[in-house]
Homo-oligomer: A and B are copies of this chain.
């Protein structure tokens, strides 16, 4: 197992941190590559030795967070208490609000949110059994579940988290999880 050159790791870390800080400051679109390299105190040309463009760096940064969140959401036993899962989500978001705000917020690129929805839907479909007689196709239900979860998180973050994670978990259950599960999936109790 090769440990990559420390210089590379250092550079990429500095670039990632610089990008996150800058998105929070002025939004993704307004950032130039020179902004990033100056903030990271890295030579301008060095950026292109690691990433083709801004988007590639962002994807790299985002993957870490996305995998972490998906792990929390789907890394556990299926058939778990839906309310408990909701609390877990909003606790995680609260604990990582700086980064999540950047990645899911309106200041980040839309493509990222689409990517998260894509990966989340696949997980939902993998872990839930569709109800055969439902007029709501499982694919749509999964997409709805994930997309509206993200929308709810976005609302919460953009309004500076005015309700507790517990409260949001309950809202999440009532507005999203319960209706989706009952109308499109078979609920298997533990």
Q: Which residues on A are within 8 Å of B, measured CB to CB?
A: 106, 109-111, 113-114, 117, 135-137, 140-141, 143-144, 147-148, 151-152, 154-155, 163, 167, 170-171, 174-176, 178-180, 183-184
Contacts and interface: CB of A to CB of B under 8 A. Distances in A.
Contacts of A179: 174-175, 178-179
A143 B153 CA distance: 11
Contacts of A117: 151
Q: How many copies does the complex hold?
A: 2
B155 A143 contact: yes
A111 B27 CA distance: 12
Contacts of A110: 106, 109-110, 113
Contact of A170 (B135, B148, B167): B135
Contact of A151 (B109, B136, B148, B155): B148
Contact of A144 (B136, B143, B148, B180): B148
A144 B149 CA distance: 9
21 contacts: A106-B111, A106-B114, A110-B113, A135-B174, A136-B174, A137-B163, A140-B171, A141-B175, A143-B152, A143-B155, A144-B151, A144-B155, A144-B176, A147-B148, A147-B151, A147-B154, A148-B151, A175-B179, A175-B180, A175-B184, A178-B179
